[in-house]
Structure 1
Amino acid sequence: MFKKLILTFMMVAGLGVATANTAIADDHASTVAAHGTFEGRSDHVTTGGVSIVKTASGYVAVLESDFSLDGAPDPTLGFGNNGKFDTDTLFTKLESKDGLQVYAIPANIDVSSFSEFYVWCEDFSVPLGVASLK
């Protein structure tokens, strides 16, 4: 089901389906490395789940279908530890305030080194939502 959701999203959104098919073509090549549920920060409402998935071509962050952000200027994604966002891990802008989304995580980010996934407001340098990864 997870594989089907990702492929459906990528086809609808027009994202690189060939890349997606390569990355998750084999169920055995894709595993959930970590999962968490967002909690809002800085007076923002951020909810839903996030999974960090290891694929044959690297890691992806999957904001699950229940993901929602109440809105903010310049929301971005990245990682952190112990309540502190690591600005070196900022890797993409958030494309939508809600729903299923898939983002490739650059190879230079060691996802195993982080215990939190952030929706971060780059304009004001504040967290909008944080998910503890397990």
Structure 2
Amino acid sequence: MGKWILRSPLARAGLAAAVVVAIVALYWFQPWKLFTDTYVDDALPPAGTTSVTSAPASTPASATPTPTPAASATAAAADEILAAGEFVTHEHDTTGSAEIRRLANGRHQLVIRDLNTSNGPDLRVWLTDQQVIRGTAGWRVFDDGKWVELARLKGNKGNQVYELPASVDPADFRSVSIWCKRFAVSFGAADLTTT
């Protein structure tokens, strides 16, 4: 027997179409991401708010150093957690916690601790004004209202820090979603409750 050759133009066109469909499907779904993880370990601020303790009342006045104006200003401008919450599962199993922090310099950050979710195509970090709804009813609500995309998700596992643009007021948002932009679905989300 000789080689099998596609002699018919229709057969060649069919094969070419099948190859194009396979390439588009691979690009669109990126199935290899189901078997790969990207770990991130950004430097995180300490958990909780930074507080300043004053000297005990029983300390003699002569033993207590007098604070300088610069030291008092630094103490008053410590980092502060404005809102925090735990991730719930949507399209993919997701765990971890999120918090919005106001830094001493007035900027804001979203801090994600111990994130564990699936990898996927075109994952983004969104702040939204939508309430987190558990289960499949909550998968697609986050693009219904006001939202802001902070960045592409750095990795599907680990600790991550995202800067909020100066134009973003954290008080306008009540949740964070790991959003798959390609399929318009939330992998997981956290309600941000004021602390």
TM-score by length of 1: 0.74
Q: Deviations over 1:71-94 (max 9, x none)?
A: 211110111213432464012001
SS in 1 for 2:168: coil
**Aligned partners of 2:131 and 2:155: how far apart in 1?**
26
Mapping of residues 45-84 of structure 1, within 5 Å: 45-55=93-103, 56-64=105-113, 66-80=114-128, 81-83=130-132, 84=141
Q: Deviations over 1:54-80 (max 9, x none)?
A: 11141111111x211122111101112
Mapping of residues 9-88 of structure 1, within 5 Å: 28-42=77-91, 44-55=92-103, 56-64=105-113, 66-80=114-128, 81-83=130-132, 84-86=141-143, 88=147
**Aligned partners of 1:82 and 1:63: how far apart in 2?**
18
Looking at secondary structure, tell me which structure has more strand per residue.
Answer: 1
**Aligned partners of 1:107 and 1:78: how far apart in 2?**
16
5+ residue gaps in structure 1?
8-25
**Aligned partners of 1:71 and 1:125: how far apart in 2?**
15
Q: Deviations over 1:1-54 (max 9, x none)?
A: xxxx526xxxxxxxxxxxxxxxxxx67431011111001112x01111111111
Runs (4+) of structure 1 exceeding 3 A deviation are: none
Q: Tell me whether 1:127 sits opposite 2:176 in the alignment.
A: no
**Aligned partners of 1:58 and 1:133: how far apart in 2?**
18
Give the match for residue 71 of structure 2.
none
Give the match for residue 40 of structure 2.
none
SS in 2 for 1:112: helix
Mapping of residues 101-112 of structure 1, within 5 Å: 101-112=160-171
TM-score by length of 2: 0.52
Q: CA deviation at 1:120?
A: 0.4
Match of 2:149 among 90, 109, 112: 90
Superposed CA RMSD in Å reads 2.1
The amino acid of 2:154's aligned partner reads E
Query: How many pairs are equivalent?
Result: 111
The amino acid of 2:118's aligned partner reads D
Which is greater in Rg?
2
**Aligned partners of 1:59 and 1:128: how far apart in 2?**
24
**Aligned partners of 2:163 and 2:98: how far apart in 1?**
13
Give the match for residue 176 of structure 2.
117
SS in 2 for 1:95: coil
